Amino acid sequence: MNAYAGSGALVRLALRRSRIMLAVWVALFVVFAGYSATATVDLYPSLELRIAAADTINGSQALVAMYGRVYDPSSLGALAMIKTGGLGAVFVAMFAVILIVRHTRADEEAGRTELVGGTAVGRRAPLAAALAIALVVNLVLAALTAAALIAAGLPADGSVAFGLAWAGVGLAFAAIAAVVAQLTTSARSATAISAAILAVVYVLRAVGDAAGETGLRWLTWLSPIGWAQQFRPYAGDRWWVLLVTLGFAALAATAALVLAARRDLGAGLLPDRSGPAGACRSLRSPLALAWRLHRGALAGWAVGFALVGALVGGLAANVEGFLNNPNARDFITRLGGEKGLIDAFLSLELAFAGIMAAAYGIQVVMRLRAEEVGLRAEPVLARGVGRVRWAMSHIVIALAGTTLLLVLVGAGAGLVRGIQTGAAGEAVRVFAAALVQLPAAWILAAIVVAAFGVAPRFAAAGWVALAAFVVLGELGPLFGLSQWILDISPFAHVPKLPGGAFSPVPLIALTAVAALLAAAGLAALRRRDIGR
């Protein structure tokens, strides 16, 4: 049999299974890019303002490390897309990792690949189908992103280059995830290793970009994210760099296909570590098991949030130099708060941290569905553990982990800000501004609990809700939507601290809504069949 037989049918099956996830993610990326361009185009109408803002970014090692360099200070597009090009590429890469792992190692772990393999399907067909989907999705993303940027008023050639740069990052990490999926035996490990590689290449890019002319600039060329930025959209459009990205992706994908044919189904090329015959006393409860399952991911998220907090606190001192245009100042103030430009910047960045913390909570609670589908919930429930107790073990980790992440980002930003100003009260203000994001983040986790209990097939509703809330918050004011529509998002009710007025009423209301949603989900879980 041809090793690739049935690849086309598997592509159609995978597209049908992931059609909602793919549509939501692509739409979110396109809206994010288009909004960033639209919001920035009017902020720097003159050449002098653009050059001054670009020089401020390039003169700050912290900003360069976080976002990259502005290679053409006179280019509006290069300035407008600096943040989207750097951090946006990270999310595109992570999306590619999730997509590949979902349709390779996760299907194999759940037994679906073995079931499909019993038909007229070649040995390499599942992996080839996943790679083909990644190629198609990233090309669609490139085309729609370019169209959105052109519609926002940016030059067409630079917009196409930007879209292809994003697609190149997605293809590179799709190939990396395909290789990693051949090494491990679990989807969780494949995702974690791929995410660790993503973190390493991002740091390499940051160090290379922040280095001086005689420093370690060459490190940028060891990173797929660095390749995307060296494409230099709107600043020369170096099309030949795309060949580097595509060449790497082709070599890595070929290596993954070769490795796929050299291992047994369900096994990984890296040997599994055998565990003890019996569990230790500290692992003999549902909560201990949930902690064991989530502790590695929480550690990675915690390190990232602590670093982001310190970076946000450090960037606050550069805000006034960066936003030297009255229109830009008004824009950031309207988004982030009303009292002081630095307070508005901190409020805006900490609100984004709250959104990311909510993403962690969604990820943790969705593990309940993965345990159920993977038939790992039934052995736990068969040992005298109630359904509510089992579910609560993961919910507690989600709530406590979300709290820890916001504590870390608030402590990091507050500590750095306090050192900058020499005022302990400033550190307390920033720390409190991070903690007020908690109730809104908890609501997203509660939405997943409710969906898992009532209709487990729609447990991914948490991701859809998060995307909808982000779009409402970002685009709602731009399109002049009614306030009652904007109020659908829980993040719209969070006090804009530091700088804004504080009221405990919305926080109490948000917490009560989260508790009601979670209670409804747990009540429904007690009445439905497990595995349905």
Is residue 167 within 8 Å of 90, Cβ to Cβ? no
| CA distance linking residue 72 with residue 232, whole number of Å | 9
What is the DSSP annotation of 444-459?
A: HHHHHHHHHHH-GGGT
* 306-333 pLDDT, tens digit each: 888 888 887 776 665 555 555 555 555 5
The mean pLDDT of 283-289, rounded to a whole number, is 84
33 pLDDT exceeds 50?
yes
| CA distance linking residue 472 with residue 202, whole number of Å | 29
The whole-number pLDDT of residue 380 equals 85
pLDDT-derived band at 338, boundaries 50, 70, 90 = very low
* Nearest by Cα to 96 from 167, 18, 39: 167
136 pLDDT exceeds 90?
yes
Whose tokens are 């109490």? That residue is: 508
Query: What percent of the chain clears pLDDT 90, i.e. is strictly above it?
Result: 33
* 498-512 pLDDT, tens digit each: 877 888 999 999 999
The mean pLDDT of 89-112, rounded to a whole number, is 88
User: Taking the CB of residue 275, how many other CB atoms lie within 10 A of it?
Assistant: 7
The whole-number pLDDT of residue 418 equals 87
274 pLDDT exceeds 60?
yes
Is residue 37 within 8 Å of 163, Cβ to Cβ? no
